[in-house]
Chain A
Amino acid sequence: MGWREKRGRAEAGLASGGSIVQFDNVGLRYGTGAETLSDLSFSLQEGGFYFLTGPSGAGKTSLLRLLYLAQRPSRGLIRLFGEDIVTMPRRRLPGFRRRIGVVFQDFRLVPHLSAFDNVALPLRVAGVADRDLENPVKEMLAWVGLGHRASARPATLSGGEQQRVAIARAVIARPELLVADEPTGNVDPDMAKRLLHLFDSLNKLGTTIVVATHDLHLISSIGRAEMLRLDRGELLDPTGALRHPPRRPDA
């Protein structure tokens, strides 16, 4: 692994300028099985918009789990917000997690909390007082078209409505990095467009966005987005643009 590691370090030095996420030779295996992800090397630029695609089972969700700090890699180096999170002590991770918004594929809404309380959760975790979170949460719910369902429990919401609550919850705290796993899988095309527009506006405010999706239509609708294509745990990067990202004009 010697030369590879050296090359990885050199790249890390080069690309650390505007990159928010940096993977060097990252591998992930669960238990003793085969590697779910192998030799991932790429960096995501701060303020970038990325689509992660690939067939089912390619490791998209695993890669996202690494991004939102649900998992540490089996090998390799990951830098997030400029810091090595592989060797970072556990007690520092919550502070990093608060800078990341996540839309889970299965939503993971808290079943006994209302839509309002679910969306308010990240703010409460961050210690925002109740009187300060009421307006932003209501606005956010209105934005995803659920202003009238603020007090509804997830079980009484349709799949699409639950998904919108999950998205509202992921973006409410203005994360620096938004990670979304199939965020438009359960909504009609109009709502998908609307949600994508939300991501787009968030991106324009500076949030780096990573969206895993199969939806090619969705991908084509954000012109400036870049694509990461995973296949069988490996990143296809024929042009090398992901390993050696061109400097962005605004960076």
Chain B
Amino acid sequence: MKAGARKFGAADRRLLPEGRMAGPMPWVIAIMMFLTVLAAAAGLGLGSAAGNLTAGMASRLTVQVMAANPDRREAEAAAALAAAERLPGVARVHRLTQDEMQKLLEPWLGGGALDADLPIPAMIDVDLAPGGGDRVDTVRGAIAAAAPSARVDSNATWLAPLGRLIAALRWLAVALVLLMIGATAATVVLAARAALDTHRATIEVLHLMGATDLQVARLFQRRIALDALFGGLVGLAAAALVLVLLGSRAAALGSDLLGSVALPPLAWVLLIALPLLGVLLAMLVARTTILRALGRML
């Protein structure tokens, strides 16, 4: 039986007619792979965006001292600054300088609009130490005591819905990738069955000559793997092109939020691995389908 495990040798390429690239299978796989790579890229990109959001902004509080009287405002701002600095779990406290305020307001009020006559709240950024999300209320209390006119906004409060939206989109991307994998597997099952039907006579002859199921399965497996490799590479190339184009458009916008959607290098490695995983999946599915069909023959 040892010979049963052997291949047909160099001639096995000729045992099934080449016919590759002729059928729709490689193109269907190319489309699947294109969509899978896009969905995976969206998932990975949103993942890194969500990471950037939480790392950079969610642990920040913004304090606005809104007293109308400039002297009182200064006094309260200084008190709030001192109170925040004394608190444990606060990594950094920074009062925005006149220049920084100018920059923030420029888009709305134009350059040089900031003079002493316009009452502008004093703003203080309070960065909590990592994991300090539960200290928001302590900070809020301390600042309210020091500066009664201060308003404390936690960035986390308004970032939370955005974070939830991103999380939902990520799950959607994961679900899409899984659905695509399922659909690709189904395509391969159909293609393998079609190939079995087309070559039924040849298979029967091989079978009656004493070819083992594995010998026959190997013939198909290889053919389908080549189809899947072709489809996978075409799909990947098309998707990569789209991603690079989208990336350059997003970079041109100069938006902080969109810019953070950029794909990290590891994500590219994962995306490039997708067609190879596709080939493995196709081979495995084809093998199982064919071995099951052959198992029904005597």
A binding-site residues for B, Cβ under 8 Å:
68-72, 90-100, 102, 108, 110-113, 117, 120-122, 124-130
Contacts and interface: CB of A to CB of B under 8 A. Distances in A.
Say whether chain B's binding surface is mostly helix, strand, loop, or mixed.
helix
Contacts of A130: 9-11
Given A96-B210, A108-B204, A71 B17 contact: no
Contacts of A125: 8, 206, 209-211, 215
B201 A124 contact: no
Interface in B205-255: 205-212, 215
A76 B164 CA distance: 70
Contact of B205 (A71, A108, A117, A129): A108
B296 to A, nearest CB: 10
B1 interface: yes
B298 A70 contact: yes
A117 B14 contact: yes
A120 B207 CA distance: 15
A117 B205 CA distance: 13
Contact of A68 (B14, B17, B202, B208): B208
B94 interface: no
Contacts of A127: 3, 6-7, 9
Which of A96, A100, A120, A122 is most buried by chain B, counting CB atoms within 10 A of its CB? A122
Interface in B177-210: 201-202, 204-210
Nearest to A129: B9
B130 interface: no
A126 to B, nearest CB: 6
A110 B7 CA distance: 18
A236 B206 CA distance: 34
Contacts of A100: 210
B104 interface: no
30 contacts: A68-B208, A90-B298, A91-B1, A94-B1, A95-B1, A95-B4, A95-B210, A97-B208, A97-B209, A97-B210, A98-B3, A98-B209, A100-B210, A108-B201, A112-B14, A112-B17, A113-B14, A117-B11, A117-B14, A120-B11, A121-B205, A121-B206, A121-B209, A124-B8, A125-B206, A125-B209, A125-B215, A127-B7, A130-B10, A130-B11
Contacts of B298: 69-72, 90, 93
B210 A124 contact: no
A223 B34 CA distance: 71
B175 interface: no
A145 B206 CA distance: 25
A63 B131 CA distance: 81
Given A102-B208, A129-B9, A130-B9, A94 B4 contact: yes
A112 B204 CA distance: 15
A124 B9 contact: yes
B145 interface: no
B15 interface: yes
Contact of B15 (A68, A94, A113, A128): A113
Given A72-B298, A127-B3, A94 B212 contact: yes
Contacts of A92: 1
A49 B209 CA distance: 21
Interface string B13-25: 0110100000000
Contacts of A98: 3, 209-210
A95 B8 CA distance: 15
A126 B210 contact: yes
B205 A94 contact: no
- Which 10 A-B residue pairs are closest in the complex by CB-CB distance? A98-B210, A97-B210, A127-B6, A112-B17, A127-B3, A94-B210, A125-B211, A124-B8, A94-B212, A125-B209
A139 to B, nearest CB: 18
A116 B241 CA distance: 47
Contacts of A113: 14-15
Contacts of B215: 125
Contacts of A102: 208-209
